[in-house]
Structure 1
Amino acid sequence: MRRLILAAVCAASAAVPAAAQDAAATAHAFGAREYIRQISLSPDGRRVAIVIPVGPRGTGVMVADPIAGGGAKTILRTPGTDGEQVTDCHWATANRIVCEVAINRPGVGVRNMVFSRLIALDADGRNQKQVTARQSYRALGVAQFGGDVIDWTGDGKGGILMARSYVPEQTIGTRLASSAEGLGVERVDVTTLRRSNVEYANADAVEYLTDGNGHVRIVGTRRSNSAGYDGNVISYSYRKAAGGGWQPLGKLTLGDGYGTGFNPVAIDRALDAVYGFEAKDGRQALYRVKLDGSMARELVLDHEGVDVDGLIRIGRQRRVVGASYATERRETVYFDKELERLSATLGKALPGKPIVGIVDASDGERQLLIFAGSDDDPGRYYLYDKATRAMVEVLPARPELEGVTLATMTPVRVPAADGTAIPGYLTLPHGSTGKGLPAIVMPHGGPGSRDEWGFDWWAQYFAARGFAVLQPNFRGSAGYGAGWFQKNGFQSWRTAIGDVNDAGRWLLGQGIAAPGKLAIVGWSYGGYAALQSAALDPDLFKAIVAVAPVTDLETLRAESLGFTNYPHVDRFIGRGAHVRQGSPARNAAAIRAPVLLFHGDIDVNVGVAESRLMAKALREAGRPVDYVEYKGLDHQLDDGEVRAAMLERSDAFLRRALGL
């Protein structure tokens, strides 16, 4: 097995426990941004395009030839200093790559906005062109997003199908105007930039699905109200393979929790059917519906305890080959028997890496791009050739952690106060007895999310520094059905935060956490949960770290004013006493533990005003608080130096607060 070695980033070191390294070195190793941020395989199966970090905040695109064992070249760079990042790259032809560049800019009201544009370039970096249609000075508005590639085989010759937003144009005193408005589809040649309409702009359209071979088969439409806000019902229509007019497929109603109705996701051209998700017995299941006019419906996969929430698609046609769900670990069910056998074989051939997934495939699926990793291995990528059965290693996902001994993650069940078993994951420091440790409860973000078994850089860092880390999937988490999700983690905050606090009590009761050595750490909704935990039990946690937290539900609601999704956000947060009672900034006096806050000032997920408000409220209540604000960073604090500093400062804060 050969390995593509990039000396600048992959220098290996002897395996030593991370806790044995000094604090600064450990923080830098874990705070480093993931080296392979996104990766794709060329149609001929020989080269990969990788989105990589460049410097503390920048991004780049690197093209490498794993089979030849070298030739890696960075063909595009963005400095990241002005909020510009490459987010995604895919091969349109064997020599032409299309990349999305996102730009964070000041927006309306209290929110920043992210804009995006698509560019195309050759595999050597030459011949760069903007694929996104350039706006005329006559445009009556701004196209925020530069388009989404919905089909990579629009004509088989480098033409793609791209869904894009049209903005009407007008010039006084001339006939130079366009009334086209809304989402449409066009075919674009990524070399010549010739473009032609496939689906004319539709003001109500929100989504188009193709069969992976250049034909649009499904459209989703949503009516807006008189004020221009989005409705809560998406109506889906389909057309037959032979063409013709649109026919009704179904409706998806968006609620304050799980939606209801059929949500189409991917079309299988060979079966002339669409795969989609819909509730069954209170949990999400995968269905298949025929598009031949019969509307014949088939249950493909469900699970009695969790949502089926993943669809496995590979190759340039995005062929559906399986589905997945997460119990204690994520399980994949392959519909393709050859890939099922291959997955089992690779799982045995790569000992210690039980997470094996197919990332991409060449034309004809002769070569496969594989990821393999585990809880104590950040993972690495391989190129596999079906004909020769040879596998070549491409790169590790996190070279800075090469040779570092990491902790294992164990699924656990934590009893809540009402007897409900709360699933979660316990990560103990490598080599520890698991008793009498400083400990952290780490609630996840979302709240419509969940933690899963696998590598987690944040939890692993604290374990490396000697902390036990418990990540509970409290009620209000996604993945376990509508009953578990309840009304979401804001409207049902008492239950969600109660479960989080019960996780802390369990750590103490089991003797895992030493008395007086329990803290809570969270990011986004997790930061909200960390702060709000004191509203139910001010004496439980002795230190609180919150990164980019929601702190006031009315402020969160106001952040969406002026945006079309405001009604959805409004419904999700809800109205009533829970808004005041469930807002940490309005209950700052209840917090007794010292608080450390971090936030980026161009956060588009949770406005920086939330942490500023929280810090102000804590100070006015006479509570100890440290607040660190980072200029020019978004919700993810996507800067290796900043993340390292955040980790090191958090560790020092926790040690001081817990008396370590």
Structure 2
Amino acid sequence: MKLARSVTLALFAGASSIAVAQQVPPEKAFGQLESVRDMSLSPDGSKVAFVSPADGLRTILYTVDLASGTPQAALAADGKPSRISWCSWVSTQRLLCSIYAAQKASGYRVSLRKLVAVDADGKNQKMITERQSDAALYVAADGGGVIDWLPDQDGAVLIAREFVPEAKVGSLIEKRAEGLGVERVDTRTGKRELVESARLDASEYITDGHGNVRIMGVQKKTAEGYSKSTTVYYYRVPGSRDWKPLSSYDFLSRDGFNPVTVDRDKNVAYGFKKLSGRLALYTMSLDGSLAETLVLSNPEVDVDDLLRIGRDRHVVGASYATDHRVPVYFDTAVKPIAATLAKALPNLPQSEVIDSSLDGTKLVVHLGSDNDPGQYFLYDRGAKRLAKLMSDRPFLDNVKLATVKPVSFRASDGTMVPGYLTLPPASDGKKIPAIVMPHGGPEARDEWSFDWLAQYYANRGFAVLQPNFRGSTGYGDAWFQKNGYKSWRLAIGDVVDAGRWLVEQGIADPAKLAIVGWSYGGYAALQSNVVAPDLYKAVVAIAPVTDFATKVGASRDYSNFAIEQERFGSGAHFEEGSPAQNAGAFKAPVLMFHGDQDFNVDLQQSQMMDSRLAAAGKAHELVVFPGLDHQLADSDARSQMLGKSDAFLRTTLGIK
């Protein structure tokens, strides 16, 4: 296979107005958002489209004719508050985009999502989300989601959306439909056709990728109307409209069979179910027998991801993560492609098929590694030709990045805890400044891959250890325990032991050891200073949870209140495990960052921590970013955060 002349798309990445070749400070280079937020290939394989961040909070949809390489801005959002989340082709000339806006209204957090269709040249914009009338009894915040791209129907999609009843005093006009239903929508004309009537108890619909709704999920409710963590699934046999019981699944305990997609030809549902305490991939027959077949399992870790391609999103494999993510391909036509890509670009072992043409002959693939942020390629299966489209982070193209090494360390109870160690390029890793960086979630795990935050600190001379502490997902029930909140002592104990291991191994200078974390990782960074106040000499917490009771209470007026109650539990750990309730124990200075539009972890969490540290006479600072949410998805804000945190660490730790 030959690597073709690159299609020069990097010049119009839209990520910034600064030339890629221009030298910029490290915080600018690493803080810059990815040039591509989402990429899609047209059905005929002649064009790509991608969403890219622009100056400030703006996002822009670009379409590109691959023959000429000429870009065209087709849609833009100013970010105040609307931004483009993703765009995908629905025909050779038309795209469907999701527009997202997070804002507060009357004291309530509201996340609004709308669907908009537009031609490749930016013309014929049409709102696909149905407009609500003044007679609507309440606002449907979610304007609908695509559940089927209808590969056999040019320009049409199936959308699942909330139906809201309408009533007007003194008028005969009334709409009674309420709940989640499904419509077929023509994105050119906006014409709608009801496919599944609205059901108040429905929470999810799954199709076979060709327009047939085969599975429905019903989320259980409490007596007060709050959502529970359990979803009950129903299915249809071919040719029937009747619903039959399929399974139930609790996403907090991960008990039961969780269907993800339907294979029309095999007439089965693919889904995940535990085997010996770890998630495994199964199929369940939809012919009425509900026969289960084990497809893939691993005795050490969860099988947790499906590999799917094509407009019908058919399954071609699955994957799991040990030290590295391991793809396993079932499709005999796709498996050789993965081998070809691995042979052509051995330095980019992480591969993902992003999209494909309708006939499957052309693929957009993303390739990357631990020290390469990733690159987009167009692969022509017939010609066996690979052409580079653009880099994910062009500002780092000429920056030497660090390698990431899987490691394990012994916790205080003797358990071996896995993690990833990143050393500064060209460093011998001896007695150097070091950072422990626990991941967010806590229902998550770190993997071997490019991490812009860890790479930035490695670039600045820090060793970075990312522990997959107990409470992380991916390693089964015994490792997950009760989750990182209920089992906080075990999780934070592992995070503390990660720092001690760095010192014992001679990697970290004990006087220059810090901890940095985001979300739950920010919580872990703060709580580690409660548990072991003499270990970490500086704390950086980004959007942290700081008080359990306040976090749960903030959900009282929302549908997930019961889920948050179950997730956090109750008891003495509410006070003992909350850093805001233990500010007097802190010895290390604290620097926090938070967006004031964070709907995941409310700004109140950092404000409470800040006030408690002030009352206790501790060194502290809180930086608030107006208009930003949990991800702080703004290049300037991220650059500021990186630069300020680096200066804080250097001053606090005495690094020249």
Same fold (TM over 0.5): yes
- Cα deviation, 1:555-604, whole Å, max 9, x if unaligned, reads 11012111111101101000000010000000000010000011010100
Is the contact between residue 11 and residue 399 of structure 1 (CA under 8 Å) also seen in structure 2? no
Q: How does 1:225-624 map to 2 (within 5 A)?
A: 225-255=222-252, 258-624=253-619
Which TM-score applies when normalising by structure 1?
Answer: 0.96
Higher relative contact order (CA 8 A, sep 6+): 1
Shift of 1:251: 1.2
Is the contact between residue 54 and residue 79 of structure 1 (CA under 8 Å) also seen in structure 2? no
- Cα deviation, 1:526-579, whole Å, max 9, x if unaligned, reads 000000001211100000000000000011101211111110110100000001
Q: How does 1:169-188 map to 2 (within 5 A)?
A: 169-188=166-185
- Cα deviation, 1:425-445, whole Å, max 9, x if unaligned, reads 000000011111100000000
1:88 corresponds to: 86
Is the contact between residue 154 and residue 187 of structure 1 (CA under 8 Å) also seen in structure 2? no
Give distance in 1, aligned partners of 2:365 and 2:625: 36
Amino acid at match of 2:120: A
Secondary structure in 1 aligned to 2:39?
strand
Is the contact between residue 12 and residue 71 of structure 2 (CA under 8 Å) also seen in structure 1? no
The reply to whether residue 54 of structure 1 matches residue 51 of structure 2 is: no
Shift of 1:2: 2.1
Is the contact between residue 419 and residue 468 of structure 2 (CA under 8 Å) also seen in structure 1? yes
Shift of 1:155: 5.7
Shift of 1:107: 4.5
Shift of 1:76: 1.1
The reply to whether residue 209 of structure 1 matches residue 206 of structure 2 is: yes
Give distance in 1, aligned partners of 2:408 and 2:439: 16
The verdict on how the C-alpha distance between 1:529 and 1:107 changes in structure 2, with shifts beyond 3 A counting, is farther
Shift of 1:220: 0.6
Which TM-score applies when normalising by structure 2?
Answer: 0.97
Range moving further from structure 2, 583-592 or 221-230: 221-230
Amino acid at match of 2:11: A
1:222 corresponds to: 219
2:627 corresponds to: 632
Secondary structure in 1 aligned to 2:174?
coil
Give distance in 2, aligned partners of 1:574 and 1:69: 58
2:11 corresponds to: 7
Is the contact between residue 12 and residue 403 of structure 1 (CA under 8 Å) also seen in structure 2? no
The verdict on how the C-alpha distance between 1:504 and 1:358 changes in structure 2, with shifts beyond 3 A counting, is same
- Cα deviation, 1:9-53, whole Å, max 9, x if unaligned, reads 595549xxxxxx8xx710000000111111111100111110100
Give distance in 1, aligned partners of 2:466 and 2:261: 32
Is the contact between residue 151 and residue 312 of structure 2 (CA under 8 Å) also seen in structure 1? no
Shift of 1:65: 2.6
Shift of 1:108: 6.2
Shift of 1:69: 4.4
The percent identity for this pair of structures is 50
1:105 corresponds to: 103
Shift of 1:351: 2.6
Give distance in 2, aligned partners of 1:69 and 1:514: 54
The reply to whether residue 160 of structure 1 matches residue 153 of structure 2 is: no
Is the contact between residue 444 and residue 450 of structure 1 (CA under 8 Å) also seen in structure 2? yes
Give distance in 2, aligned partners of 1:253 and 1:507: 38
Secondary structure in 2 aligned to 1:227?
coil
Shift of 1:179: 1.0
Unaligned stretches of 5+ in structure 1?
15-20
1:17 corresponds to: none
Amino acid at match of 1:355: Q
- Cα deviation, 1:494-530, whole Å, max 9, x if unaligned, reads 0000000000000000010013110000000000000
Is the contact between residue 414 and residue 422 of structure 1 (CA under 8 Å) also seen in structure 2? yes
Give distance in 2, aligned partners of 1:254 and 1:329: 25
Secondary structure in 2 aligned to 1:145?
coil
Secondary structure in 1 aligned to 2:166?
coil
The reply to whether residue 45 of structure 1 matches residue 42 of structure 2 is: no
Shift of 1:154: 7.1
Which of 113, 118, 141 in structure 2 is aligned with 1:116? 113
Is the contact between residue 151 and residue 311 of structure 2 (CA under 8 Å) also seen in structure 1? no
Q: Matched residue pairs, number?
A: 647
Is the contact between residue 420 and residue 448 of structure 2 (CA under 8 Å) also seen in structure 1? yes
Shift of 1:183: 0.2
Amino acid at match of 2:280: A
Is the contact between residue 2 and residue 69 of structure 1 (CA under 8 Å) also seen in structure 2? no
Is the contact between residue 218 and residue 236 of structure 1 (CA under 8 Å) also seen in structure 2? yes
Shift of 1:158: 1.5
Shift of 1:344: 1.2
1:150 corresponds to: 147
- Cα deviation, 1:602-646, whole Å, max 9, x if unaligned, reads 100000011011010001000000111111111111110111011
Secondary structure in 1 aligned to 2:333?
helix
Give distance in 1, aligned partners of 2:492 and 2:582: 14
Secondary structure in 1 aligned to 2:584?
helix
Is the contact between residue 596 and residue 629 of structure 2 (CA under 8 Å) also seen in structure 1? yes
Give distance in 1, aligned partners of 2:290 and 2:11: 56
Give distance in 2, aligned partners of 1:280 and 1:595: 43
Amino acid at match of 1:78: A
Amino acid at match of 1:4: V
Give distance in 2, aligned partners of 1:427 and 1:225: 46
Secondary structure in 2 aligned to 1:187?
strand
- Cα deviation, 1:281-327, whole Å, max 9, x if unaligned, reads 00111100111112111000111011110011111001111100000
Give distance in 2, aligned partners of 1:69 and 1:431: 42
